[in-house]
Amino acid sequence: MKEDFEELRRINQEVYVTDQSVIKVTEDVVFVNRYKSDISRSQYSTYVRVTVGLFGFYFSILLTLYIASSGNITDDIDLILFISFWTIPLIFLVIISWRIELPICFNKKTQKVSTWIDGELAEIEWEKFFMFATTIYAGKMRTEVLLFTLFGQNDKEYNMTIWDEASPGGLYVFLHNFMNHKEPIIVENGKMEIARGNFQFTYKELFVQRFTFRKEDNVFMRISLIFSAIFFTVPIDFLMYGLNKILPRRKIPKELLEACGLDKDYKVYG
């Protein structure tokens, strides 16, 4: 395992991580999302569900306009359209009561990995920590994940899964560098994704970023990015940020906060 890590570290000194896996990075702690394949859980899946909800919203608008233009609207159809027009957004707002997840803490100061699960603190000392990469298949879809085990009371085992990039130099290398007091280098795009996922930007910054292009983007790519920004990425960003302000978040237990080296008022999520 150690030889594999050294080889990966040598291949790619810079690492690419995203808000699908990393919640926040501080001087002493990396907060990581637990991966769940169920689309109704995890921050990344929330973004997907908001996107699906937005598609449904646009579809209901187009359907309403199409039937209205046909001139064959009855009172019943009027009622159905009215209900679908307003319930589709409301339904996907309800199903994103996603803020129940608790972070996994990699604390390099205490050299422990900790989380809260099934009403108890589960953790392991870094020197005993073992993590390996594997692939999860769901039909034709495949997901690269990292697996490891944490221990609760009476040595009860909790198998944990976190999402990782398939390419070398991903979360695996990042966590090993961090916990071994080696300065991890996150690529700029990775830093931006983590900051966006943790709601660290202003609305103005979100808007500007979605309309910022790379020099290598050709005119067709820029047109597609503008279209995507207007109808999807900017509305989704704004909606996610707005929901972050109004939706309740599950309170992080005191035991986990202490294991993460945090005081009771610390906000892990932006």
111-161 pLDDT, tens per residue? 999 999 989 999 999 999 998 888 777 666 677 788 899 999 888 999 998
Each residue's pLDDT tens digit, 99-110 = 667 889 999 999
Report the pLDDT value the prediction gives residue 41, as an integer from 0 to 100: 45
Instruction: With CA atoms as reference, report the closest residue to 119 among 264, 221, 255.
Output: 255
Report the pLDDT value the prediction gives residue 200, as an integer from 0 to 100: 86
Do residues 5 and 177 touch, judged by C-beta distance below 8 A?
no
Strands (E), 164-255: 185-186
Higher pLDDT, 129 or 93: 129
pTM strictly above 0.85: no
Spatial distance between the Cα atoms of 256 and 112, rounded to a whole number of angstroms: 12
Out of 10-14, 30-34, 51-55, least confident range: 10-14
Q: State yes or no: pLDDT of 270 exceeds 90.
A: no
Instruction: With CA atoms as reference, report the closest residue to 252 among 267, 235, 237.
Output: 267
Do residues 232 and 51 touch, judged by C-beta distance below 8 A?
yes
Q: State yes or no: pLDDT of 258 exceeds 80.
A: yes
Out of 29-43, 101-115, 256-270, least confident range: 29-43
Q: State yes or no: pLDDT of 242 exceeds 60.
A: yes
Which residues touch 246 (CB under 8 Å, ≥6 apart)? none
Q: State yes or no: pLDDT of 206 exceeds 60.
A: yes
Spatial distance between the Cα atoms of 162 and 31, rounded to a whole number of angstroms: 11
pLDDT grade for 198, boundaries at 50, 70 and 90? confident
Do residues 209 and 218 touch, judged by C-beta distance below 8 A?
no
Report the pLDDT value the prediction gives residue 169, as an integer from 0 to 100: 62
